[in-house]
A = this chain, B = another copy of it.
């Protein structure tokens, strides 16, 4: 079974549109934008389109990339304090001179749909029962939505997360652990990755390395979720670079469920960002 992330995102979009119109107030997402490479523009365009479709405003705050960490922190604090901004996100990555976590920590949990501030992260990791923790980091919310849709059991299953990054590996490992899985996090330093992947019931990869996971590395019936993205050079007859994931598409033949890149978890992650925003705006 191949996950149709676009269809799932459309379903969530329709629900959110109804929610927003019931709320009967203007919701606005503030986006702090510093870099302006093609990838950033593309992600931003996806968010802008989604927002428009559900009736949410997006306000872009463009910042010059030469800014200092302290100035940027002040600026983000100002943006957070503007009453009309219901949520604030910072487009990553930030320029190298910036202390990224310090900037993200300027976003209060009540306005943090990306859940990247230390406080949001801690509340999520601790599994606290307070309101702001009803939401999940968007990538975890997206995988949860996929698992709910396809009735994937998590409790007591062996899960392997590939990559220990702040945006994908860590939140997914934490979420799987809180949901009762046995969780192994492996990465480039792991000497025997196959020993982990071959016995995994669930594999989630978020590295950004094409064909990192091949069919021989997984067992029959695995749930394989690709959250990695990288660009491969254009192939024969292709005009432009292709977005590819970490998991060789051949894995789909052994998998009971396969979420590919593109078209799997990605569109759902955008939807979950807005689901968080709407939840925080209630």
Contacts and interface: CB of A to CB of B under 8 A. Distances in A.
Contact of A125 (B102, B122, B184): B122
Number of copies: 2
A54 interface: no
A101 interface: yes
User: Which of A122, A156, A184, A185 has the most chain B CB within a 10 Å cutoff?
Assistant: A122
A211 to B, nearest CB: 21
Contact of A186 (B120, B125, B173, B182): B182
A59 interface: no
Interface stretch (A5-13, A37-45, A126-134): A126-134
A166 interface: yes
A73 to B, nearest CB: 11
A189 B182 contact: yes
Contact of A199 (B118, B158, B187, B195): B195
**Does more than half of chain A's interface fall in helix, strand or loop, or is it mixed?**
mixed
Given A182-B190, A189-B182, A101 B125 contact: no
Contacts of A48: none
Given A118-B126, A158-B192, 16 more contacts: A99-B128, A99-B130, A101-B128, A101-B129, A101-B130, A117-B122, A118-B123, A118-B125, A119-B122, A120-B122, A122-B122, A122-B123, A170-B177, A182-B184, A182-B185, A182-B190
Contact of A183 (B126, B156, B184): B184
Interface in A123-168: 123, 125-130, 155-156, 158, 164, 166
Given A102-B128, A183-B184, A199-B195, A156 B190 contact: yes
Contacts of A183: 184-185
Contact of A118 (B99, B101, B119, B156): B119
A121 B130 contact: no
B118 A105 contact: no
